Chain A
Amino acid sequence: MQLFKLFMRILKKKLPLAMVYVVVFMLLCVAFSANGDNEGSFEESKVSVVITDNDNTPESKALTDYIASRQKVVETKIPVKDALFYNQISFSLTINEGYAHRLAGGDTEALFTQEYVHESYGAAYMTSFLDEYVSCIRAAMLSGEDTLTAAGSAASAMDTAAEVEMLSSDAGKLTGLLSGHGFFRYLPYVILSVMMMSLSSVLISINSKEVRYRTNCSSVSPTSYVMQLLGGSVEFMLGVWLLFMVLGAVLEGGFSGRGWLQVLNSFVFSIVATLIAAMISLLLRSAQAVTLISNVVGLAMSFISGVFVPQSIMNSSVLAVGKFMPMYWYTKANEMIVGTEVYHTNEYVQCLLIQAGFAAALAAVTLVIFRLKMKTNEN
């Protein structure tokens, strides 16, 4: 067990760097978990609106109050332009001077001004909202009401609410950039990075020319050599995976139902990540190169496979390339589990099998490279 002990001793030295990834990842997960979703009954989204009232009349105040009762009227500390660009607010509304006077005269042209940076959903909603409000006031004024009374009537009329039924849907529960937010979405990037940063570095040290020559002339047989390294790698992989599952259970409040499918998915991916790290250790010569390559490989796989940006909103050509990466299939399975895509058990199993296939292929290639290296050294 000399080699196994050596493996663990070197691993201990490499762990602090890997732990940086774990700590940063956990902090980010806590930040993201604050955006929880409540899917029990339908709730209207409220649009963040900044209002500038240049008319300052009872009518304009009535409008401001009505918007405040239906939407989220905010005051922003940063310039409106910046807040619009960064989507901190969805709509910048100015009630133009002469609003009440012109409305009373039946002139509805340019009563409001909207400053915008891009056409967002919130802006489209507010445009329709204001249009309806003005139409309702004009309708109320037909029956002889003055503008202020008509504003009250318009607000009452607009409170007519359609009946909304919440159906159970397997898809669309979480859409957009934050879809599938949380622990399991970013987990493959972190597992792969931790594995490459620590395991690859350890294996490079053990497989370095001088150390291996010394091991070769010792009483340790080649089979025992491989088995001890395999044992160390498996133990490390299980340790890392278990650590993440415990942390995940704490963050997610335990696993239940489909949560266990995520656990299984992450286990299969951990095996793949271990084999990628092992293969990289045979292809590179220095720990410095591992740092460079692990950054590139980890980020490249994650971006192309849809870890950082959900697959549902990614470019199809990029996703076509992503299909050649195991992380793509992990993410696809995860998106089905969290509801961004429709869940089908057979497709989930297919994703697991494809990852297992990648693991088998990586194991075969790693063994071939290892044997070739051994042969080269023998000659």
Chain B
Amino acid sequence: MFFNEFKYNLLATIRNRSFIFWLILFPMVLGTLFKAAFSDVYANDIKFSAIPAAVVAQKDDEAFREVIKAVSTGEDPLLKVTYADKEEAEELLKNGKVYGILTKGESLTLSVGANGIEETILKSFADRYLTQEKLIKDTAEKDPSKIPALIEVMQEETNSLKKIRITDGECDPLITYFFNLLAMVAVCSSVTGLNIVSNNQADQSPLAARKGCSPTPKLISTLAVLGSCWVVSSGCTAFSVSFLAFVLKINFGSRLGLVYLSTMIGGIMGTSMGFMIGSLVRGSEGRRNAAAMLISVGGNFLSGLMIADIKPAIMEKAPIVNALNPSAVVCDSLYYLNLDRDYDRYIGKLITMLAMTVIFTAVGFIFTRRKKYATL
């Protein structure tokens, strides 16, 4: 009996075009769009690269040229310099080709077109140049014999900063959009969970009414339908991970197996959430669908699917929301897997998902059992 129900509900769910669209096609389309739109953003906007600047040298100053050469060459240059006359430089600034113009006359001045971190870095370069020039002048006035030592100190690499990279994962913050996309698939699996109620509560559909008068115990029937929905939702999430990892080549790191694990558990949790919503919300199928979509999409929004900056804001201001939001739990499990070298936080999220699955399923069973109908 169990396997019969399991098999036919599995087939019916797979043949439902709406499920296929929202759980397979829509994530594929959205993932492709994310990939297309965000592919160059990290390199162009977030990661540091040499700042384009125009240099106008009003008089031939060999020392200044040497300094410019030093900061615009090498492995990690600070500036990408274009020498130009005043008019050309202003044209470059006007057209957005450079962030600022460094003009070396009697002193060093900076012209910019806007406020921003790039312009601030250019100013700090100009400030530093003037500071060193001033120190040399002051020393020349006080004790000229110390000038060679001063120049040596100024030119010497201090190596004062030791840099430690604290993650081995993908460091592009925009990867969280893909984590959220997988969380969306997992949590939107709730639409399959709604079917458990529709197909087993006799007052919800003709099919459920017919099943209600069959000799199969309701527990067996519900478990069979729930099991088949779990298979479909975990299959859909696994498909989405495969599509992102192997077709779009999203870098999930070396722990891809665990990415599959957490998203599949997420899918099972989403289905159970749908089962619970279906059992708690009375009324038409449309009303239950609306409730499930509202909770899923609202959770996705708070998890950062639409605006990534919401996530850290909630992490800081209302961490309890992140802890209780199923979308955020799935997304965080993938995020911790990417960022952390150890598994502590990841395992915590995995346990949360499993606990939520148990609670949602239990509530679903409690509110669908022992129903009696006077009329249908």
Contacts and interface: CB of A to CB of B under 8 A. Distances in A.
Task: Please classify how large the interface on chain B is, using the bins under 10, 10 to 19, 20 to 34, 35 or more.
Answer: 35 or more
A224 interface: no
A136 interface: yes
Contacts of A88: 312, 316
B362 interface: no
A377 interface: no
B33 A132 contact: no
B51 to A, nearest CB: 8
Interface stretch (A121-129, A225-233, A237-245): A121-129
Interface stretch (A53-61, A260-268, A288-296, A354-362): A288-296
B73 interface: no
A161 B129 CA distance: 10
Main secondary structure on chain B at its contact with chain A? helix
A166 B146 contact: no
A342 B121 CA distance: 23
A296 B26 contact: yes
A157 to B, nearest CB: 5
Residue among B36, B46, B167, B311 with max Cβ neighbours from chain A (10 Å)? B36
Nearest to B43: A313
B278 to A, nearest CB: 20
Contacts of A31: 307
A213 interface: no
Contacts of B96: 169-172, 341-342
Contacts of A83: 312
Contacts of A81: 166-167, 339-340
Interface string B102-134: 000001111111111111110111111111001
B90 A108 contact: no
A116 B109 contact: no
B33 A300 contact: yes
Interface stretch (A38-46, A246-254, A326-334): A38-46
A27 B146 CA distance: 63
A176 B142 CA distance: 48
A322 to B, nearest CB: 9
Contact of B162 (A39, A86, A114, A143): A114
Nearest to B127: A162
Contacts of B126: 162, 164
Contacts of B99: 172
Interface string B136-159: 000100110010011001101011
A170 B91 CA distance: 10
A168 B112 CA distance: 8
